[in-house]
A = this chain, B = another copy of it.
Amino acid sequence: MAYTAEIIGVGTELLLGNTVNTDAQDVSLLLSELGVNVYFHTVVGDNPTRLKQAVEIAKSRSDIIITTGGLGPTFDDLTKQALAESFGKKLVFNEAVAQQIKDFFSKRLPAVKMTENNLQQAQLPEGCVIFDNGVGTAPGCAFEAEGKHVLMLPGPPRECRAMLKACVEPYLRKLSDAEIHSHNIHIFGLGESAVEQKLRNLMENLHNPTLAPYAKDGDVTLRMTAKAASKDEAEKLMTPVMSQVCETLGDIIYGIDTISLENTTVGLLLERGITLAAAESCTGGLFSKRLTDVPGSSRAFAGGIVAYSKNAKISLLDVPPELIAEKNAVSREVALAMADGARIKLGADIGIGITGIAGPGSDSSGLEPGTVFVALTTKDSSYCRSPLLFHDRERIRIVGSSHAFDMTRRLLTGLSVD
Contact = CB atoms under 8 A, between A and B. Distances in A.
Contacts of A303: 305-309, 312, 315-316
Contacts of A298: 308-309
Contact of A117 (B12, B193, B221, B315): B193
Interface residues of A, number: 101
A85 interface: no
A361 B297 CA distance: 13
30 contacts: A14-B28, A15-B40, A16-B28, A16-B212, A18-B212, A18-B214, A20-B21, A20-B25, A21-B21, A24-B43, A39-B50, A42-B43, A74-B193, A108-B390, A109-B388, A135-B391, A162-B392, A278-B306, A280-B288, A285-B288, A285-B306, A293-B393, A295-B361, A301-B308, A303-B307, A303-B312, A305-B305, A305-B316, A312-B346, A315-B347
A388 B308 CA distance: 31
Contact of A346 (B30, B43, B293, B316): B316
A4 B246 CA distance: 49
Interface in A196-216: 196-197, 212, 214, 216
Nearest to A12: B212
Nearest to A289: B285
A162 B392 CA distance: 11
Contacts of A302: 309, 311-312
Nearest 7 CB-CB pairs, A to B? A284-B292, A285-B288, A17-B28, A17-B29, A304-B306, A285-B285, A303-B312
Given A17-B27, A289-B289, A303-B306, 16 more contacts: A14-B28, A17-B24, A17-B32, A20-B24, A21-B21, A39-B45, A57-B57, A109-B388, A158-B395, A283-B289, A284-B289, A285-B285, A302-B309, A302-B311, A303-B305, A303-B315
A126 interface: no
Contacts of A196: 74
A16 B41 CA distance: 11
A191 B162 CA distance: 22
A41 B21 contact: yes
Interface string A29-71: 1111000001111111101001001100100010000000000
Interface of A: 9, 12-22, 24-32, 38-45, 47, 50, 53-54, 57, 61, 73-74, 108-112, 115, 117, 135, 158, 162, 191-193, 196-197, 212, 214, 216, 221, 223, 278, 280, 283-289, 291-293, 295, 297-299, 301-309, 311-312, 315-316, 345-347, 359-361, 370, 388, 390-395, 397
A15 B41 contact: yes
Contacts of A388: 109-111
A251 B397 CA distance: 33
Contacts of A285: 280, 285-289, 291-292, 304, 306
Contacts of A361: 295
B301 A288 contact: no
A45 B212 CA distance: 13
Contact of A115 (B50, B193, B212, B315): B193
A43 B45 contact: no
Given A16-B29, A20-B22, A292-B306, A42 B39 contact: no
Q: Tell me which of A50, A193, A345 has the highest count of chain B C-beta atoms within 10 A of its own C-beta.
A: A193
B39 A41 contact: no
Contact of A19 (B43, B214, B391): B214
